[in-house]
Amino acid sequence: MNRFFKSMYMLMVYLFLYIPVIILVINSFNSSKYMTGWKGFTLDWYSKLASNTMLLDAAINSFTVAFLSASAATVLGTLTAVTLYRYSFFGKKLLYALVYVVIMSPDIVMGISLLVLFASIKIELGFWTLLVSHITFSIPFVVVTVYSRLSGFDKNVIEAAKDLGADEMRIFKSVILPMSLPAVAAGWLLSFTLSLDDVIVSFFVTGPGYEVLPLRIFSMVRLGVKPEINALCAIILLFSLVMVMTSQFLMRERK
């Protein structure tokens, strides 16, 4: 009896989690335009999507910003984490705490403060402001991911490298970087995802000249959900699944 309830409970939780997603994917193949019932299988929405240039442009913009911001944040965040781990200096604890403050602070605060900043130095909103903002909110996640991996290291390993004649540069290149690579990769994937699905910060810091996918979808659904959006979401879902699996694989491979 007890076991029956346990499995029922788990079933309910997972249904709750996945029913919306499943309905979305099913509807992306549903020939009924208003999603009121199953009217037969179709790939029309996918081909419609392929000809919706506004949506596609927004998608390309989103992926470009996600890729660039994730890469920049990974470099900057990794170097920050290594500095925090390797060297002791005045204010180190405070700096690490400040990293968490950015993670905890609500997107809306982040978005408005960046907007105020850009306005006060009179930069036109668009690609560059968006990129800088995404780099900003991604860095702390990379720092935390890489730092936690580094603190799991045996400190003696780094001392051993030094003992064997390596200078700081060689220690970084031959020991610290390869050993923290899984965390660096995980940090990149995390930043990429964060950037891709950010709505709030992007809403404040991008201009009309540079539209990103979440904002585009947001404005489209105000007039009702079109079946193409189901198709688009299904594709994005597939993409994130691949990303999650890649990151899991990377983490396992390196252990």
Partner 1 sequence: MKQNSPVIELTNITKSFGENTILKNLNLSISDGEFVTLLGPSGCGKTTILRLIAGFEQPDEGRILLAGSDITDQPSNKRHVNTVFQSYALFPHMTVFENVAFGLNMDKMSKSEIKAQVNDALRMVKMSDYADRKPSQLSGGQQQRVAIARAVVKKPRILLLDEPLSALDFKLRKQMQVELKQLQRRLGITFIFVTHDQEEALSMSDRVIVMEEGVIQQSGTPKQVYEQPANLFVARFVGEINVLDTVVEKHTDNGFACKIEGFSCEIHSKKRPAEGSKVSILLRPEDLRVEELAKAEKPEAGSIFGRVEETTYKGATLESIIVLPSGKKLLASEFFDEEYEEFDYKLGQDVAISWVDGWEVVLVNE
Supply the minimum distance, in Å, between the C-beta of residue 171 and partner 1: 9
Q: Given the complex with partner 1, which of 48 and 254 has the nearer CB atom?
A: 254
Q: Which two tokens stand for residue 248?
A: 């899991």
Supply the minimum distance, in Å, between the C-beta of residue 89 and partner 1: 17
Q: Given the complex with partner 1, which of 60 and 178 has the nearer CB atom?
A: 178
Angle at 218 between CA 69 and CA 242, to 5 degrees: 50
Contact, 252 vs 42, CB < 8 A? no
DSSP assignment of 184-235 equals HHHHHHHHHHHHHT--HHHHHH--TTS--HHHHHHHHHTT---HHHHHHHHH
Q: What's the maximum distance between 2 C-alpha atoms anywhere in the chain?
A: 72
Could you say which of 165, 208, 209, 224 contacts partner 1 (CB under 8 A)? 165
Could you say which of 31, 32, 105, 174 contacts partner 1 (CB under 8 A)? 174
Measured between alpha carbons, how far is 62 from 67 in angstroms, rounded to an integer? 9
Could you say which of 60, 160, 221, 245 contacts partner 1 (CB under 8 A)? 160
Q: Given the complex with partner 1, which of 13 and 160 has the nearer CB atom?
A: 160
169 binds partner 1 (CB under 8 A): no
164 binds partner 1 (CB under 8 A): yes
User: What's phi and psi for 41, nearest 5 deg?
Assistant: -80, 140
20 binds partner 1 (CB under 8 A): no
Contact, 199 vs 108, CB < 8 A? no
106 binds partner 1 (CB under 8 A): no
Q: Look at the alpha carbons of 189, 205, 215, 200 in this order and tell me if their dihedral is positive or negative.
A: positive
Measured between alpha carbons, how far is 96 from 244 in angstroms, rounded to an integer? 27
Give the binding range for partner 1 (CB under 8 A) out of 26-34, 134-142, 149-157, 244-252: 149-157
> How many residues bind partner 1, per CB under 8 A?
18
Question: Which is nearest to 81 in space by CA: 159, 141, 156?
Answer: 141
Give the binding range for partner 1 (CB under 8 A) out of 1-9, 23-31, 94-102, 170-178: 170-178
Measured between alpha carbons, how far is 77 from 184 in angstroms, rounded to an integer? 9
1 binds partner 1 (CB under 8 A): no
Give the binding range for partner 1 (CB under 8 A) out of 84-92, 110-118, 157-165, 215-223: 157-165
167 binds partner 1 (CB under 8 A): yes
Question: Which is nearest to 101 in space by CA: 133, 75, 134, 139?
Answer: 139
5 binds partner 1 (CB under 8 A): no
Q: Which residues contact partner 1 by CB under 8 A?
A: 154, 156-157, 159-167, 170, 174-175, 178-179, 254
